[in-house]
Amino acid sequence: MEYAMVTGASRGLGRATAERLAKDGYPVIVNYRGNEKAAQEVVDSIMAAGGKAEAVKFDVSNKTMVDAALEAWESVHPDDYISVLVNNAGIRQDSLLVFMQDDQWQSVVDTTLGGFYFLTRRIVKNMMTHRNGRIVNISSVSGLKGMPGQCNYSAAKAGLIGASKALAQEVAPRKVTVNVVAPGFIASDMTAELDQEAIKKLVPLGRIGKPEEVAALISFLVSKEAAYITGQVISINGGVI
Ligand code: NAP
């Protein structure tokens, strides 16, 4: 059976994506880092809607945890493979560069780029064997435009775009696609503390985006209809850039 894995699926965009992919018919692996209660809520909501899901805890930036979690999953699912991977887990630790602490830089880069690297290199191998796979990496308007106070986050999200474009060319002959979704301001815990009225003024469409709108885009990119789209960055930002 083909599974979809969504990292950072206990909350926000990841949760909406997990729920959407379950509605699309995928059994979903709901990854989370620490918030077990929230992850279980996502699994319960998917099951209540008639879908299939399991929560799997690991820190995407930790190679040992990633390897152990994937090995454990594979041993319980010898006939299954992950054909859809959404690298969504991300954090921000904003600071002007002159004041930035080493751990603010490192944790953001490790979560976005380390997470992509540790997980994708393992999962893409099976996709290539099956000549079938969809990878969607979640970047940001910050990775396209750069945002003051986010040198760490902008660097990580821009790096993710470069890695995605390179990987897309590596795996295209095996019918695996790799694309990037670059959201603008989307309602979630990550943006909850920002001045919502000030943000709306920056957005030509005059509102903050919904996680379900990002999930719908991801749903399309992983569908059979999107087989000819690879190596692309698709923005979803209300017209911000
Ligand atoms: P969020 O509400 O803060 O949720 C973050 C999710 O990532 C949680 O499920 C969290 O798990 C998980 N996570 C964080 N670090 C992790 C790690 N090391 N390993 C595994 N899981 C980890 O964030 P969001 O707003 O939904 O953002 C999701 C993605 O979209 C991020 O990559 C973010 O950069 C990107 N993005 C968001 C916006 C926006 O406006 N919201 C805009 C552009 C891009 P726990 O619950 O266990 O902590």
Q: Is 153 a catalytic residue?
A: yes
Write down the pLDDT at residue 107: 98
Q: Which residues line ligand 1 (CB under 6 A)?
A: 7-14, 31-35, 38, 59-61, 88-91, 111, 138, 140, 183, 185-186, 188-191
Write down the pLDDT at residue 35: 98
Write down the pLDDT at residue 24: 98
Nearest CA to ligand 1 atom 41: 186
Write down the pLDDT at residue 104: 99
Q: How far is the C-alpha of 118 from the C-alpha of 43, rounded, in Å?
A: 24
- From the number of C-beta atoms within 10 Å of its C-beta (0-12, 13-18, 19+), residue 181 rates as buried
Ligand 1 atom closest to Cα of residue 211: 26
C-alpha of residue 168 to centroid of ligand 1, in Å = 23
Nearest CA to ligand 1 atom 9: 8
- Residue type present at position 5: M
C-alpha of residue 57 to centroid of ligand 1, in Å = 14
Ligand 1 atom closest to Cα of residue 9: 9
How do residues 92-116 score in pLDDT, each as one tens digit? Answer: 999 999 999 999 999 999 999 999 9
C-alpha of residue 224 to centroid of ligand 1, in Å = 26
Write down the pLDDT at residue 62: 98
Nearest CA to ligand 1 atom 39: 186
56 by DSSP, 3-state: which? strand
Ligand 1 atom closest to Cα of residue 34: 47
Ligand 1 atom closest to Cα of residue 141: 43
Choose the residue to mutate in 11, 103, 160, 234 for probing ligand 1, maximizing ligand atoms within 8 Å of C-beta: 11
Where the chain has pLDDT below 70, the residues are: none
Write down the pLDDT at residue 16: 99
C-alpha of residue 138 to centroid of ligand 1, in Å = 10
C-alpha of residue 8 to centroid of ligand 1, in Å = 5
Nearest CA to ligand 1 atom 33: 90
Write down the pLDDT at residue 67: 98
Write down the pLDDT at residue 58: 98
**DSSP 8-class letter at 104:** H
- From the number of C-beta atoms within 10 Å of its C-beta (0-12, 13-18, 19+), residue 241 rates as exposed
Q: How far is the C-alpha of 42 from the C-alpha of 152, rounded, in Å?
A: 30
